Amino acid sequence: MSGEDDDATNAAADGGTDHPADSPIAEHARPAGGDAPETGLAGPTPEERPHPSGRRDEHGVRKEPDDGGEATRRATVSALVEDEPGVLARAAGLFRRRQFNIESLTVGPTTVEGHSRITLVVEETEAGIDQAKKQLAKLTPVIAVGELSDDAVAAELVLLKVRGHEPDKVHAITSMYDGETLDAGPRTITVQITGDENLIDDAIDAFDQFGIIEIARTGQTALERGDSPTTPGEEPGHSAGSTDDDEFTNYDD
């Protein structure tokens, strides 16, 4: 700000020179003593104000001097939901709208009638994963949300269609990955491989030599090991054939 306008009362004649010609800025009387700019309010300018030294990162976390920064990680999130129309669209829409980086999303029924399980793999910062879980939990049809531990059981299914010129070799690799041949013809062979994500990736690499024509992957689905519930407080349902209650006695609460 300039110091020339301390007495702004009669400064109209030389005011407004900083502004476009079609935007004349009128000068207005201001009580004496104010260090008034041409227009606006009185008071010390930004440079004259004290500034704190602290800082936050883009997630609003106050930075420590040795702060490592913005590492992302992959998380597998399992949501138990009411099986009602639109619930998948709500979850997917939420993730799109809030720009969460979603790797895969699977959904299917559980042993409890009227409940489904959505399994999501997201790659986000720690704050992003936390937020994704909380936003998901907020959806009305969502019953519970859990993040799976690293040693959870996770699996994916892939269908691979490859060139059928070398059926023996294809069969050998299919066997190596405990896969199954679903369709074999003179020109193409279609196999199914099931396993965790790394195994699927390896299998795809191995089949690549034959020329992969088409791939369909389901995305990961996962459950916690042993007696640990996959989502907090999850009550196990009993499928029609299961009467062995002892297996679930540790699920109380």
Looking up tokens 């023996």 gives 168
CA 187 to chain centre: 40
Residue pair 190/159 in contact (Cβ under 8 Å)? The answer is: yes
Interface with other proteins includes 11 (CB under 8 A)? Answer: no
Q: Of residues 3, 33, 45, 168, which one binds other proteins by CB under 8 A?
A: 45
Tell whether residue 39 is a contact of other proteins (CB under 8 A).
Answer: yes
The minimum distance between CB 83 and other proteins, in angstroms, equals: 15
Backbone angles phi, psi at 176, to 5 degrees: -55, -35
When asked if residue 1 is in the footprint of other proteins (CB under 8 A), the reply is yes
CA proximity to 122, closest of 219, 49, 252, 40: 219
Closer to other proteins by Cβ: residue 121 or 145: 145
Q: Which of 37, 167, 219, 236 binds other proteins (CB under 8 A)?
A: 37
**To which residue do tokens 């070398």 refer?**
166
Enclosing H/E stretch for 206:
helix 197-207
Is the Cβ of residue 51 or residue 187 nearer to other proteins in the bound state? 51
Piece in contact with other proteins (CB under 8 A), picked from 55-63, 99-107, 180-188, 240-248: 55-63
Does 54 engage in binding with other proteins (CB under 8 A)? yes
CB of 75 to other proteins, least distance (A): 16
SS3 142: strand
* Residue of 11, 90, 101, 217 interacting with other proteins (CB under 8 A): 90
Helix-, strand-, coil-residue percentages of the chain, each rounded to 5: 25, 30, 50
Give me the residues paired with residue 119 across strands.
78, 106
Q: What is the DSSP letter of 251?
A: G
By the rule CB under 8 A, 93 interacts with other proteins: yes
Give contact residues for other proteins (rule: CB under 8 A).
Answer: 1, 8, 18-20, 22-26, 28-31, 34, 36-46, 49-62, 85-86, 89-90, 93-94, 97, 127, 130-131, 134-135, 137-140, 143
